[in-house]
Structures are given as C-alpha cells and as structure tokens.
Amino acid sequence: MNRLKNRLKNNKGFTLAELLITVLILLMVSSVVAGGIPVAANALGKMVDAAHAETLLATTYTALRDELSTAVPSRTITVSSNGKSIRYTDSDGVESKIEVKNDGKNDGIYITKSGSERLLISEIAATENLSATFKSVQCNDGIITITDLKVKNKKIGNDVNKLDSAVIRIVGYEAGKAA
C-alpha cells in the first residue's frame, strides 16, 4: 500500500513499458472497431434497401390500383397476348396503356397516356437501385389480376420484395354486363 502511495506522489510520469502497453491496447480496440464498420455499413445498406423495396412495392400497387380501378367498364379493356401490358380507357376518356419492361436498362412499369410514356412510379421513388415489375396481367369479369408484382435490386439482380398476385376491381363493373 505504501508503495502505491509513494508511486502516486511521484511526479516522474509513466514508464516506457506502461506507455507501450497502453498504445497496444488502444490499437487492438481500434482495430476491432474499424473491422466492424464495413460489416455494419453493409447490414445497414441491406436494411435500407429492404425498407425502400417495401415502400416501393406498396406505392406501385397503390398507383396500379388507382389507375386501373378507374378504367371505364363499357370500353374495351385488352391485355396483350404475352400478358405484359393492358390497354384501357380511363375515366377521363383517355386511351391508356400500362406495360412492364424488363430489358435490363429501362426496367419498370410504364404508363402511356396521350402518346406520352413515363414510369408509373417516379424515378425518385424507384431509386437508382430498385425497380418494380410484374410477370403478367389478366382481366376477367371486371377484375384485373397482376401476377408476381415485385421489386428488384438492379445492382445485384435479385428480387427484394414481391406480391404473388395483386387483384384490382374495376369500379362500376357488374358481372355479366358493363356499367
């Protein structure tokens, strides 16, 4: 105990060995922290992409529902033979077309109105990495079914989130006859 008191009263400072041990401990702690940063950043990136994909999927479904539910039932609603697009007349009397493109460069769901084509969901909502697509669309008795509506990560090419099928009912359609 006396030795410790004498040591505390001594103003000489630390020995070289004590300083080296302190530096070594700091190096080991900082290397552990620095090694974990890339792992944490990667995990955070995956969580952010998953959250964006969920939001994009919900936004895409809502946009499709809002657009297709107002198709005029008394007008012709046609689906392409490959099931990749649907033509209809909207409630404003405008001929419209929704189609999916999967060419690798311009992946996404596009809407054409009055000769002007644009993404159904803005590029800001879709982000650089994510795009929404679907496998096919069908229309029977006023019900539009979109199969395999999914959000894909364009950088790594895998599906991040998907709905096996989305069902949209045309407003004003009565079974057996058009409204």
Q: How confident is the model at residue 179 (pLDDT cuts 50, 70, 90)?
A: very low
- Domain edges within the chain: 37-169
Cα 138 to Cα 84: distance, rounded to the nearest angstrom: 9
Greatest distance between any 2 Cα atoms in the chain = 103
> Between 15 and 3, whose confidence is greater?
15
Residue 47 reports pLDDT greater than 60: yes
What percent of the chain lies above the pLDDT cut of 90?
28
* Collapsed DSSP state (helix, strand, coil) of residue 169: strand
Q: How confident is the model at residue 5 (pLDDT cuts 50, 70, 90)?
A: confident
pTM for the full predicted model: 0.73
Q: Count the residues in the chain.
A: 179
Per-residue pLDDT of 97-132, as tens digits, reads: 999 988 767 788 999 998 899 888 877 666 667 888
Mean pLDDT, residues 51-64 taken together? 90
User: 173, 179 in Cβ contact below 8 A?
Assistant: yes
